[in-house]
Amino acid sequence: MATIILYQKPGCATNARQIQALKSAGHDVIAQDILKEPWDAEELRSFFGNMPVGSWFNRAAARIKSGEINPDTIGAASALALMVGDPLLIRRPLIDVDGARCAGLDHEPVLSLLGRKTQDDLEGCLHEANPRRCAQA
């Protein structure tokens, strides 16, 4: 059993499902509000490892869906500055397990914690299939 710090958006049904999956796998989950965390660029960067910059973003965020921000054309420093200013842009959940960090459930150490080789259906945004949409992505 591991203790997992999971940065989520409170009220997000997808994040709630992810937390439940981790708890069902026998882990302790400490959920933190990603919107209230006082992020700095260096700390935030530590969650992304060698992921391409475009995959650091929450593709369901309104500013991305509207075309205001194109994650595929932004450099690392600009991406981090945008995310520090608007945490809704950050791919969720951010995970910290004893200092091992990642963004999303499709990376280690989370896959091992879940006993899976793939993240299956734990990352798709539930609100897009639901007529009652989230207030903010």
Residue 12 annotated to the active site: yes
Answer whether residue 119 shows pLDDT above 60: no
8 contact partners, CB below 8 Å, separation of at least 6:
15, 16, 18, 19, 31, 32, 33, 34, 92, 93
- State the average pLDDT for the chain: 86
Coil vs helix vs strand at 2: coil
**All structural domains of the chain with their residue ranges:** 3-123
Q: Which of 12, 102, 125, 134 is catalytic?
A: 12
What is the pTM assigned to this prediction? 0.82
Determine what percent of the chain falls in helix, strand and coil, rounding each to the nearest 5: 35, 15, 45
CB neighbour burial string for 92-124, b if at least 16 within 10 angstroms, e if fewer: bbbbbbeeebbbbbbbebbbebbeeeebeebee
- Give the tens place of pLDDT for each residue, 45-71: 999 999 999 999 999 999 999 999 999
Options 3.40.50.300, 3.30.420.40, 3.40.50.150, 3.40.30.10; CATH for 3-123 is 3.40.30.10
Q: How high is the pLDDT of residue 45?
A: 98
